[in-house]
């Protein structure tokens, strides 16, 4: 596993790749956990894969009052986790590398409607920041495949839309959410939670699972599902709800549950923002 600290080093590495290599990119902000490793495992299992894991805490996707300053930066332990996982290269660019003109005057990419909903509503420049950095990573790494986590469902859909609209020749694959034993979606931000808040955090997945069960038992009315989830979460004073919605893959609201419905939610627990989502699968014969 080689560590590439700049775009120049990346270019050199890429030039010497054996013919027929399939470059697979797993973009991350570091502070790696088992969820990230699942993405890496998926990438490594690709035939002829040369897996590149990028680690870059992207200033563009943090709002002025968000946790950019305190976001965990633990490169040595990240590298230790990746060693032996079959990764060919870890790309750790600097801000000047990815934004040669400086972030403030950098070219931005915005996916208008989808990127303004849900997370894009409370975090107004978030998806602009995500798309701008992902496109820079794609254009520097030039992968044939991009691996993303369904934990960030809206992010996957926004990046898909961007790549489709801008003719970016990359295959996007998504990996189901990896959870702690009690169901909490793994996240680098879980480490901000106090012991008490960690106990409360499980309520998010419990509420979403309750909705999955209800759909399995015949519930199809989106309003009722959303209201039940909100009521469940509202029982916990430490929780502030940002959104609870059932959407389709284009992030449009739905009225009735369909095969492609996704229940998505975001909450704050004493200042820590958590997101999660689940597919609302219908019994297979139903449409
Ligand atoms: P991040 O470092 O949080 O920007 O995440 C990097 C990638 O890992 C994104 O594609 C995330 O969706 C994915 N990811 C983060 N947490 C999980 C998880 N618990 N399960 C699956 N993928 C995840």
CATH of the domain at 271: 3.30.1300.10
Q: pLDDT confidence of 281, banded at 50, 70, 90?
A: confident
Residues 201 and 206: their CA atoms lie apart, in Å, by 9
Q: Please state the rounded mean pLDDT for residues 251-264.
A: 96
**Ligand 1 centroid – CA 195 distance (Å):** 22
Q: Let me know: does 286 contact 262? Beta carbons within 8 Å.
A: no
The last residue of one of the domains, among 175, 196, 215, is 175
Q: Which tens digits make up the pLDDT trace of 166-217?
A: 999 999 999 999 999 999 999 999 999 999 999 999 999 999 999 999 999 9
Is the pLDDT at 286 greater than 70, yes or no? no
Residues 256 and 221: their CA atoms lie apart, in Å, by 5
Residues 70 and 142 in one domain: yes
Percent of the chain with pLDDT over 70: 99
- Domain range for 50 is 2-175
Residues 67 and 193 in one domain: no
- Pocket-testing residue among 29, 39, 61, ligand 1, by greatest number of atoms within 8 A of Cβ: 39
Residues 207 and 31: their CA atoms lie apart, in Å, by 27
Q: What secondary structure letter does DSSP report for 179?
A: B
Does the residue 286 lie in any domain?
Answer: no
Does the residue 253 lie in any domain?
Answer: yes
Pocket of ligand 1 (CB under 6 A): 28-29, 35-36, 38-39, 148-149, 151-152, 175, 177-178, 185-188
**Ligand 1 centroid – CA 221 distance (Å):** 30
Q: Let me know: does 215 contact 225? Beta carbons within 8 Å.
A: yes
Residues 243 and 164 in one domain: no
Q: Which of 15, 3, 277, 41 is nearest to 173 (CA)?
A: 41
Edge to edge, what strands does the sheet with 262-269 contain? 239-247, 262-269, 272-279
Q: Which tens digits make up the pLDDT trace of 35-81?
A: 999 999 999 999 999 999 999 999 999 988 888 999 999 999 999 99
**Ligand 1 centroid – CA 285 distance (Å):** 32
């Amino acid at each position: 596993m080689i560590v590439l600290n700049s775009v120049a080093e990346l270019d050199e590495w890429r030039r010497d790749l054996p013919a027929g290599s399939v470059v697979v990119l797993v973009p991350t902000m570091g502070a790696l956990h088992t969820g990230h490793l699942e993405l890496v495992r998926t990438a490594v299992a690709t035939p002829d894969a040369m897996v590149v894991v990028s680690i870059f805490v992207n200033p563009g996707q943090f709002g002025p009052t968000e946790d950019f300053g305190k976001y965990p930066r633990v490169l040595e332990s990240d590298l230790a986790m990746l060693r032996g996982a079959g990764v060919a290269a870890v790309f750790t660019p600097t801000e000047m590398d990815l934004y040669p003109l400086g972030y403030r005057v950098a070219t931005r990419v915005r996916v208008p409607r989808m990127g303004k909903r849900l997370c894009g509503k409370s975090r107004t420049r978030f998806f602009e920041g995500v798309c701008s950095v992902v496109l820079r990573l794609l254009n520097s790494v030039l992968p044939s495949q991009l691996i993303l986590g369904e934990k960030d469902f809206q992010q996957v859909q926004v990046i898909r839309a961007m790549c489709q609209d801008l003719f970016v020749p990359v295959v996007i694959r998504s990996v189901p959410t990896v959870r702690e034993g009690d169901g909490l979606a793994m996240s680098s931000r879980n480490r901000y939670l106090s012991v008490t808040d960690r106990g409360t955090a499980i309520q998010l997945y419990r509420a979403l699972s309750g909705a999955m069960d209800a759909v399995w038992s015949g519930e199809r009315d989106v309003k009722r599902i959303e209201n039940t989830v909100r009521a469940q979460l509202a029982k916990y004073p430490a929780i502030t709800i940002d959104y609870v919605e059932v959407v389709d893959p284009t992030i449009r609201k739905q009225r009735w549950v369909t095969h492609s419905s996704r229940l998505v939610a975001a909450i704050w627990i004493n200042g820590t923002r958590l997101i999660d989502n689940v597919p609302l699968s219908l019994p297979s014969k139903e449409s």
